[in-house]
Amino acid sequence: MNLTDPTFDNSPEQIDATVAAAAAAADTYAAADAATRAALLRGLADALEAARDSLVPLADRESHLGPARLNGELDRTAFQLRGFATRVEAGDAFAHVDDPAVAGGPPAGHPALLRVRQPLGPVAMFAASNFPFAFSVLGGDTASALAAGCPVVVKGHPAHPELTRATAELAAGVVKAQGLPAGVFGLVEGAAVAVGVHLVQHPAIAAVAFTGSFRGGAALQAVANARPRPIPFFGELGSINPVIARPAVLAAQGPALATTLAGSITLGCGQFCTSPGVIVLPDDPASDSFVDALAAALSDARPHAMLTPGMRANFDAGVAGWAATPGVPWRVAPTDGGDAPTPALAVTDAATFIATPALHDEVFGPAALVVRTTSVDEAVAVLRAIGGSLTVTLWGAETDDAASRALVRAAMQTAGRVLFGGVPTGVAVTAGQQHGGPWPSSTRAETTSVGWAAMDRFLRPVALQDAPAWLQRLGGRPC
Ligand code: NAP
């Protein structure tokens, strides 16, 4: 597929036709019962698994991520689709509050109120490059929107165009086989930003789910807000995922933690939104030894090629930015690794980090920045400077003391997920998950894009006052 061929980009007319089909399907699909939606989600999971032998090699060719990782990602994607089917059957999409009338005057007396939730309508879904299955065509955004009763128009990512098309054809086949309107699932393709912009501007698009870079997300959010009728923009963006260690934990477990952390920094060539980018350490001998061990483990790592030449260029520019910043020396300098980048580790102090906003930006790839701190207050100040992150990882907050409380408080104010031990790569798909943190890691920190609560993004509450009996009998399902 030639992405520079202008015919790869859908024309405005093609995009309009795809969105029109989604709009035409919206009322029918919103009214679909739990069994219909669950059957669609399970049918998509089954189809994905049945096509594994052709899809995984295709994904590997386009992404370099390797069959082991891609098979695991396909498993996760199918699990996610089936999980949402189960949640729809359990009634999550139709959850409602039945508040019977209370006789008498206000404020205690009130009419009968039935608080239900209305699917928003067609959702524009922007696939990410770094998860060709789990955050792409049939990923979490698509699964949760379909569970909520919304048609989906996917904007495929040009980093994996063949996989995108093959997965979309499979999805369209399932929609057709189940007798649903074709517009329940649509795809638009393009390597030009104009394609995504036209999609977001379309008056029939009711919400946007975006996973990708801060720059792309901020640009598209501005487009969504500039519409005559602005729409919700659920953006999951880049993140630097600080890891904060307290002295005792490094003295006790330093070498093992260094090996684990190096594995997390280089996993998938560092191309994870949860990749640990900033390591906040006390200024003490145990931390010196830890940095030595981390540097040694990173020097031995051999990442694979990055997803696209563009991402490689961004990575090289990011580490060059560190190199050009005074007070940020290398511990492991990047070298010419040919097709693949080599890992990079730089070191700085808290004052330099806090005073240099460019150091708070994600460097997408196998690189991390160690920030040395002289006090817990300084570690808290580093978190405040970062402002928003998908995750914060705390090593050594097991004791209930003032320092633990200060760090946990700051971590909860900074991130959507706070880990007590371990590394932040790996995001479980489950009820308790929160994947989304304050700006700049997400545009809507009160929502999650991973886990069953992701469905709530696409349901808008409506209070039905003194609703007729036939509406009450629908049990929260739209008519
Ligand atoms: P990306 O380059 O921003 O691409 C995402 C989508 O946005 C693509 O469809 C892209 O289309 C479109 N896009 C980008 N800039 C645009 C603009 N100015 N106007 C209109 N459309 C635009 O991101 P990516 O390369 O796929 O993913 C890497 C980034 O995603 C990393 O920063 C990573 O941390 C983040 N990420 C976040 C999460 C999360 O859950 N928070 C998960 C995975 C990845 P074109 O390619 O056609 O321009």
pLDDT of amino acid 6: 64
Report CA(122)–ligand 1 centroid distance (Å): 20
- Residues with beta carbon inside 6 Å of ligand 1? 126, 128-131, 135, 155, 157-158, 190-191, 193, 196-197, 211-213, 216, 219-220, 236-239, 273, 362, 364, 390, 435, 449
Ligand 1, atom nearest to 273 Cα:
34
* Position 253 confidence tier, pLDDT thresholds 50, 70, 90: very high
Query: To which residue do tokens 């070191």 refer?
Result: 347
Mean pLDDT of 76-98: 98
- Give the chain's mean pLDDT: 97
Report CA(191)–ligand 1 centroid distance (Å): 12
Ligand 1, atom nearest to 275 Cα:
34
In the sheet with 389-395, reading across from the earlier edge strand, the strands are 330-332, 344-349, 367-373, 278-282, 243-245, 389-395, 415-420
CA distance 188 to 153: 7
Catalytic choice (236, 269, 362, 378) = 236
Mean pLDDT of 72-94: 98
Q: Which residues pair with 368 in a beta bridge?
A: 345
Q: Supply 310's token pair.
A: 């563009």
Report CA(235)–ligand 1 centroid distance (Å): 10
H or E element that contains 34: helix 34-50
Contact (CB, 8 A) for 346 and 359? no
H or E element that contains 448: none
Per-residue pLDDT at 8 exceeds 90: no
Q: Is 269 a catalytic residue?
A: no
What is the percent of the chain where pLDDT is above 70?
99
Of all protein residues, whose CA lies closest to atom 27 belonging to ligand 1?
A: 212
pLDDT of amino acid 2: 66
* Position 1 confidence tier, pLDDT thresholds 50, 70, 90: low
pLDDT of amino acid 339: 85
Summarize pLDDT for 154-168 with one digit per residue, the tens.
999 999 999 999 999
Pairing of strands 113-119, 459-465: antiparallel
* Position 338 confidence tier, pLDDT thresholds 50, 70, 90: confident
CA distance 423 to 297: 15
Of all protein residues, whose CA lies closest to atom 13 belonging to ligand 1?
A: 216
Mean pLDDT of 84-101: 98
**DSSP strands (E only) in 241-299:** 243-245, 278-282
H or E element that contains 162: helix 161-177
Ligand 1, atom nearest to 450 Cα:
40
Of all protein residues, whose CA lies closest to atom 43 belonging to ligand 1?
A: 273
Per-residue pLDDT at 389 exceeds 70: yes
Per-residue pLDDT at 5 exceeds 80: no
* Position 119 confidence tier, pLDDT thresholds 50, 70, 90: very high
Contacts with 270 (C-beta within 8 Å, 6 or more apart), sequence order: 303, 315, 343, 364, 365, 366, 367
Ligand 1, atom nearest to 192 Cα:
47
Domains detected in the chain: 6-104+111-237+442-472 (3.40.605.10), 243-419 (3.40.309.10)
Per-residue pLDDT at 151 exceeds 70: yes
pLDDT of amino acid 318: 97
* Cis ω before 440 (30° cut-off from 0): yes
Mean pLDDT of 401-420: 98
Report CA(132)–ligand 1 centroid distance (Å): 12
Mean pLDDT of 66-87: 98
| Whole-structure pTM value | 0.96
Q: Is 236 a catalytic residue?
A: yes
* Position 185 confidence tier, pLDDT thresholds 50, 70, 90: very high
* Position 4 confidence tier, pLDDT thresholds 50, 70, 90: low
For 159, phi and psi rounded to 5 degrees?
Answer: -75, -20
CA distance 367 to 56: 27
Per-residue pLDDT at 268 exceeds 90: yes
pLDDT of amino acid 336: 79
